[in-house]
Structure 1
Amino acid sequence: MPHVASATIVSTDRNYLHHIDAGHFAMTTDEPAKLGGQGSAPAPFDYHLASLAACTAITLRMYAERKGWNLGEFRAELRLDRDEDGKLHVQRTLHSDQPLTDEQWQRPLEIVANTPVTKAMREGVGIASVRGDMTASS
């Protein structure tokens, strides 16, 4: 199976603040103060939406470049809500500073419905957990 991405997270001594290495990028995550964190970094669901927003923008920009479209400044706004049954829902709103007709908007809306991250979130991803041993030598 081809490797797609990797990430490692390490806890700190500050409530829910953690350090993440994703590829060769360093990030931090925390929970809001109302949930017992410091509110000092994006929370896990912030990263969840950010990954979808990034994939949306990159995929649409790639498509526009291949087609010779001028999207100008493109923006995607994402919001995550939980309904009365506890199910999560994402509302994704797309904007362009270019004057696009309803017909021109149809294709970008179809494209973003099928980005790789959209599909992974919509269809689900298999997750397996195993026990590691931090005392084992490398």
Structure 2
Amino acid sequence: MAEVLVSIGEESYTTTISYDDLEILADEPIELGGQNKGLAPSQLLLSSVGACKAITMRMYANRKKWKVDKIDIKVSSEVQKSEQQQTTFIKCNIFIEGDLDEEQKRRIYAIGEKCPVHKMLINPIVIESNLIDTMQVKNNS
């Protein structure tokens, strides 16, 4: 199970995301009232998709000992709303540089489509939120 701690204080809307001893910031742009100190949450989601695909493809290329100089992935999203639902389309334009033939590039691409974040997002997701009484937690400590 993956678990991160997300904390926001009084500064709008700078948010610290922590995992063990690692930290990154999320924020909103200045025009939305933020401080522009980090990526917006939707940008972090797109970054997760791109990073996971790139890492998965790099792992595969390394395992095969294929000469891959660079993998760039431009990730964008578009939301289409209808009366019954909202559909989000995430588009990944993948650029692979290296000494590879077309079959090798297609294989690396196919492996990228199987990265864990891609799999997570194309399957049903259930988000469960619980409000925890901090006073009760402190009293039980």
What TM-score results when the alignment is normalised by the length of structure 1? 0.85
Corresponding position of 1:9: 6
Corresponding position of 1:38: 35
Distance, in Å, in 2 between the alignment partners of 1:51 and 1:124 is 18
The AA in structure 1 aligned to 2:3 is S
> Which residue of the other structure, out of 22, 29, 40, is the alignment partner of 2:26?
29
SS of 1:26's partner is strand
Distance, in Å, in 2 between the alignment partners of 1:99 and 1:82 is 37
Percent identity reads: 28
What TM-score results when the alignment is normalised by the length of structure 2? 0.84
Distance, in Å, in 1 between the alignment partners of 2:69 and 2:36 is 34
Distance, in Å, in 1 between the alignment partners of 2:24 and 2:106 is 36
How many residues align structurally? 135
SS of 2:110's partner is helix
Which consecutive aligned stretches of 4+ in structure 1 deviate over 3 angstroms post-superposition?
99-102
Corresponding position of 2:107: 107
> Which residue of the other structure, out of 40, 47, 51, is the alignment partner of 1:50?
47
Corresponding position of 1:127: 127
Structure 1 regions of 5+ residues with no counterpart? Answer: none
The AA in structure 1 aligned to 2:115 is T
Cα offset, 1:84, TM superposition: 4.9
> Which residue of the other structure, out of 67, 70, 78, is the alignment partner of 2:75?
78
SS of 1:97's partner is strand
Q: Does 1 or 2 have the higher relative contact order (CA < 8 Å, sep 6+)?
A: 2
Q: Does 1:59 align with 2:56?
A: yes
Between 19-28 and 55-64, report the one with greater CA deviation: 19-28
Distance, in Å, in 2 between the alignment partners of 1:61 and 1:25 is 22
Pick the structure with more strand per residue: 2
Q: Does 1:69 align with 2:66?
A: yes
Partners of 1:6 and 1:23 within 8 A in 2: no
Partners of 1:12 and 1:19 within 8 A in 2: no
Distance, in Å, in 2 between the alignment partners of 1:52 and 1:24 is 23
Q: Over residues 69-106 of structure 1, what are the superposed CA-to-partner deviations in whole Å (9 max), with x where a residue is unaligned?
A: 11112222211222354421111111122254433322
Structure 2 regions of 5+ residues with no counterpart? Answer: none
